[in-house]
Amino acid sequence: MFVILLAAVLVIVYLIPYLQKERNVNIEDRQAGLDKVEKNYGRAIDSAANVFNISPSYLKALCMLECGGRKKFDQRFEPHVYEKLKKVKTGELDNYEHVTSLVLADANDEALRNLASSWGPFQLMGYKCLLLDIKVRDIRGDDAVFYGSKWIQMTYGNYLRNKKYKDAFHIHNAGSPYPAIGRPRTHDPQYCSRGIKYMEHFKTLNASN
């Protein structure tokens, strides 16, 4: 019994400082990311938010969730989307989210991979550019914030106008409103709640400026 108690004490003595250090690092990383959002994308987001009548705090929170405010980051390639698009191109599927074989007629393998990857500060899938009648380069270049905001306004802007931000975050990441029953379908179960917290940060920041 004494040995067990001694082991428990040692675990507490060494584990608590480690966990506290990890917590402090996470807080510092999160604050650095929030600062990067404002520094790297703040002006462009404020402008796009004004054009499309979208809350700038929502767009900044989304930017934080999707790229941590960074300018350079790894793109996410989605193999399952790539396979779906290939089947559409060959006629095995009629369409994939309204993408048809006619649209993909001239798409080579590299183009399909680009369409199946996510781009820009809001990490839009490449095939989303087809709805906007633009090229993938437009959602990953200097106009990525503008076109990303335009796509958001066109697809689920009504949720934002009605201030249904929890639903909006869930739609952006999982393609549907927040479920009334059951767990969220986002890749991170805390994605939506984190988004709401980030919005509060940017609302407070904008109010103080």
Please tell me the CATH code under which domain 2-78+116-208 is placed: 1.10.530.10
pLDDT in tens, 56-108: 999 999 999 999 999 987 788 999 999 999 999 999 999 998 899 998 988 99
| β-pair type (124-125, 95-96) | unpaired
Residues 103, 133: Cα–Cα separation, whole Å: 11
pLDDT of the residue at 98:
85
- Each residue's pLDDT tens digit, 107-148: 999 999 999 999 999 999 999 998 899 999 898 888 999 999
Residue where the block lists tokens 């987001």: 45
Q: Which long-range contacts (CB under 8 A, 24 or more apart) does 149-158 make?
A: 149/45, 149/48, 149/49, 149/51, 149/52, 149/54, 149/59, 149/122, 150/48, 150/52, 151/124, 152/52, 152/54, 152/59, 152/62, 152/122, 153/52, 153/53, 153/54, 155/131, 157/52, 157/53, 157/54
Encoded amino acid at 145, one letter: V
List phi, psi (to 5°) of 124.
-80, 140
Q: What is the pLDDT of residues 37-60, one digit of tens each?
A: 999 999 999 999 999 999 999 999
Q: Do 118 and 126 form a contact (C-beta atoms < 8 A)?
A: yes
Provide the pLDDT confidence category of residue 209 given band limits of 50, 70 and 90. Answer: low
**Is the entire prediction scored with pTM above 0.85?**
no
Express each pLDDT in 150-160 by its tens digit: 999 999 999 99
